[in-house]
Amino acid sequence: MKLSLVRVGIQAFALAFAVSVTFAAISRAQGTNPNFQVGKEQQQDQDQQLKQRQLSQSPAPKVDPKEEAAYKAFFDAGAQDPDKRIQLGQDFLQKYPSSVYAEAVYAGIAQSYYTKQDWKNFYAESDKALAIKPDDVDLLTMVGWVIPHMISGNESDASQQLDKAEADEKHALAVMATMPKPANITDDQFATLKTAKTAEAHSGLGLVYFRRQDYDNAVKELQQATQNNPSPDPTDFFALGASLQNSGHYGDAADAFTHCSQIMGSLQAQCKQYADNAKKLAAQQK
């Protein structure tokens, strides 16, 4: 018995899988979950990313005080009011298109569009930021994670989008492997940030391979995304279980689904059901 992805939306509560006796091709339905709400932790993470950019700026010569004030107003707008942050960012870039803060502003606007689930503009603003700073790990991992979650499958360039997500996540991992520690954070903080971003990159890669039905590589990536992760995404465990089951590893699939069922959220009941089914298949396999 194999599992096929029948609906993908951002995060676990928009992901569902159907069970069938024969293998069914992956069907990508509606990409955006209209009930999606950015969690408080995600908002804090986005603001922290902007704060790190702000602290790491070392402009020379000194930036015009009015420019500094305009950037501070943009930064202080907060993720709770994405429309205000977008407007302030657009105003800033129109007035200071060559600012040392331009990349950070584009990135902040992209994060605001993420909050609004406006994926077209999210990708567009991310591209502008990455054109200035191609090694921006935060954006690389974010874009590479969003694409396989949100792609509907009806796009004529769906394959190219998945290729981009794969390239972005691999680039992020390569950058992180040699990234020097910023002077404004401690060794422990740097290690924690790298661990979190590395898990996010492997999560994005795992979903890319899952969407391609490349279950062996999906398993490798999703295992890295979930192992030793203090806050694992139940979606990763769900997709890991599905990939293992599709590969005939029913016992391991049951373990992954069990982990998923232990995390609070809308996937709990489904994971419990699929864990029980996988255990039965594992017993039959003996």
- Tell whether 275 is covered by a domain: yes
Burial of 244 (0-12, 13-18, 19+ CB in 10 A): buried
- Tell whether 43 is covered by a domain: no
d(CA 222, CA 173): 15
- Tell whether 171 is covered by a domain: yes
- Tell whether 246 is covered by a domain: yes
- Tell whether 278 is covered by a domain: yes
- Tell whether 109 is covered by a domain: no
pLDDT tens column, 117-135: 999 999 999 999 999 999 9
Least confident segment among 40-49, 89-98, 162-171, 205-214: 40-49
- Tell whether 90 is covered by a domain: no
- Tell whether 55 is covered by a domain: no
**Domain ranges, residue 233:** 2-36+117-285
pLDDT tens column, 239-254: 999 999 999 999 999 9
The tokens of 72 are what?
């501070």
CA torsion, ordered 152, 156, 160, 165, to nearest 10 deg: -20
d(CA 50, CA 153): 32
> What is the pLDDT, as a whole number, of residue 67?
94
CATH number at residue 23: 1.25.40.10
What is the domain count for the chain? 1
Evaluate if residue 203 carries a pLDDT over 60: yes
pTM of the model: 0.81
Least confident segment among 16-30, 39-53, 167-181: 16-30
